[in-house]
């Protein structure tokens, strides 16, 4: 009984360690560095905040135009908007009209990076895109949770290079929330396999518990 628990626990811990690799020169990939400053007189007041304070290190654009304000925990209903969500910070898009919303940051991708991982909660039927440079990544599902899905993409071709990372949601795509972007030195198929092993061990633990 104890051995099974230790193996299952080790598998989960190992996945966490392998996924938590150095992030190169990219900053605020989990959006926790927010210190929102309210903009008095903002059309979103009291929910309008400066983009620089809410999403430091990131550039926010709507329809290709850089934005100086976004909202915090309040959607700008009726048009495309970008919002900081809390208290555990993540950011969300809601492209409700003919304008693409995006955030981007340029940095050095770790030389050992194999896979990009990101947590996504989707509340619409449209697509979203994550790109490096001008190339959209081929995203696959790595893991699922009742509240979000972890997506991964092979980024080994850009390892060690300075590139622009962009997350964008095209017009009329609905609502999305993003959190916990990370670079991993584990190839994407290995991450999937390790997650599957963890699930099998968790199932084995339950089976032994019933027999015990």
Give me the DSSP letters along 107-146.
EEPPTT--EEEEEEEE-SSS--EEEETTEE---EEEEE-S
pTM equals 0.77
What values do phi and psi take at 178, rounded to 5?
-125, 145
Distances from the Cα of 46 to the Cα of 71, 76, 84, angstroms: 9, 12, 14
41-45, 76-80, 163-167: segment of lowest average pLDDT: 76-80
Q: Residue 71: which residues within 8 A CB-CB, separation 6 or more? A: 44, 47, 48, 49, 81, 82, 83, 84
Give the bridge partners for 177, in sequence order.
Answer: 92, 121
Q: Taking a C-beta distance cutoff of 8 angstroms, is the pair 118, 184 a contact?
A: no
Distances from the Cα of 167 to the Cα of 11, 16, 114, 210, angstroms: 30, 23, 18, 45
Decide if pLDDT at 89 tops 80.
no
Distances from the Cα of 6 to the Cα of 1, 2, 85, 109, 163, angstroms: 9, 6, 36, 34, 41
Q: β-strands 69-72, 82-85: how paired?
A: parallel
Secondary structure (3-state) at 166 = strand
- Would you state the pLDDT for residue 2? 32
* Token duo for residue 182: 């990370």
**Average pLDDT over every residue of 77-82:** 73
* Mean per-residue pLDDT of the chain: 78
Cis peptide, bond prior to residue 141, ω within 30 of zero:
no
Q: Cα–Cα distance between 143 and 56 in angstroms, integer?
A: 28
pLDDT in tens, 134-150: 899 999 999 998 888 99
């Amino acid at each position: 009984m104890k051995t099974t628990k230790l193996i299952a626990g080790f598998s989960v811990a190992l996945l966490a360690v392998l996924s938590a690799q150095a992030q190169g020169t990219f900053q605020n990939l989990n959006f926790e560095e927010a210190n929102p400053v309210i903009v008095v007189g903002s059309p979103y007041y009291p929910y309008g905040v400066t983009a620089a304070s809410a999403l430091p290190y990131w550039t926010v654009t709507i329809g290709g135009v850089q934005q100086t304000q976004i909202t915090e925990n309040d959607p700008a209903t009726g048009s495309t908007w970008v919002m900081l969500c809390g208290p555990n910070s993540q950011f969300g898009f809601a492209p409700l009209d003919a304008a693409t919303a995006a955030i981007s940051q340029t940095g050095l991708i770790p030389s050992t990076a194999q896979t990009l991982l990101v947590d996504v909660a989707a509340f619409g039927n449209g697509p979203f895109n994550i790109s490096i440079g001008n190339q959209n990544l081929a995203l696959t599902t790595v893991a699922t949770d009742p509240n979000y899905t972890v997506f991964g993409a092979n980024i080994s071709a850009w390892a060690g290079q300075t590139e622009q990372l962009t997350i964008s949601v095209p017009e009329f795509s609905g609502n999305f929330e993003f959190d916990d972007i990370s670079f991993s030195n584990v190839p994407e198929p290995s991450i999937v396999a390790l997650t599957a092993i963890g699930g099998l061990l968790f199932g084995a633990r339950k089976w032994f518990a019933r027999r015990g």
